[in-house]
Amino acid sequence: MQNQHRYSLPARALHWLVALGIIAAFALALSFDDMPLGPGKIKLINYHKWIGITVLALAALRLLWRLFKRPPAMPAQMAPWEKLVAHITHGLLYLLMFGVPLGGWLYSSAKGYPVVWLGLVQLPNLIDKTSVDAAHQLKELHELGGWSVILLAGLHAVAALKHHFINKDDVLKRML
């Protein structure tokens, strides 16, 4: 496999760090969702926020890297519809990589709960504390975004595995 067909090392590292962060944040959210409010739940929520803000920062770095270092071209043997679906999927994943953490930050702000990254850096509230209804809607949007990114990332992974095992092309290898 030639280097021009492979993603750069920073692009690959950012891809996998963001993926791991998304999985970790989602797993944490599932773990504390039904817990009664108490110190254990608050600790897990804070970890969730830390990971979310880290994912947001890594996604910003990833987008900047992608703007300055174009990704390799898709394999010529890919059908035009596959290329279109891949572009749409990547675009939606980028939107969600930014939208889900920002939605969580907005929700925390609306509830009046600070976001303190790693327990060290208090981030500004994005909005003032709002009505219970507005905070509830932001929470619902954040949760919908979380499920959406997991679903879309799962489809993305299935497509990569299809390329590797069925098409036997280098689509997956380019990111490993």
pLDDT tens figures, 107-117: 999 999 999 99
**Paired strand residues for 123:** 115
Fold designation for 3-175: Fumarate Reductase Cytochrome B subunit (1.20.950)
Q: Answer yes or no: is pLDDT of 49 > 90.
A: yes
Q: Answer yes or no: is pLDDT of 1 > 50.
A: no
Q: Tell me: the pLDDT tens digits for 15-34?
A: 999 999 999 999 999 999 99
Q: Answer yes or no: is pLDDT of 138 > 90.
A: yes
* Domains in the chain: boundaries: 3-175
Is the distance from CB of 60 to CB of 101 less than 8 angstroms?
no
Question: In which band, very low, low, confident or very high, does the pLDDT at 4 lie, cut at 50, 70 and 90?
Answer: low
Rounded to whole angstroms, the Cα distance separating 89 from 158 reads 12
Question: 19-36 burial by CB neighbour count: b if 16+ within 10 A, else e?
Answer: bebbebbbebbeebeeee
Give me the pLDDT at residue 76, please: 87
Please indicate whether residue 1 or residue 173 has the higher confidence score (pLDDT): 173
Rounded to whole angstroms, the Cα distance separating 172 from 12 reads 11
- Read off the pLDDT of each residue in 51-76 and give the average, rounded to a whole number: 94
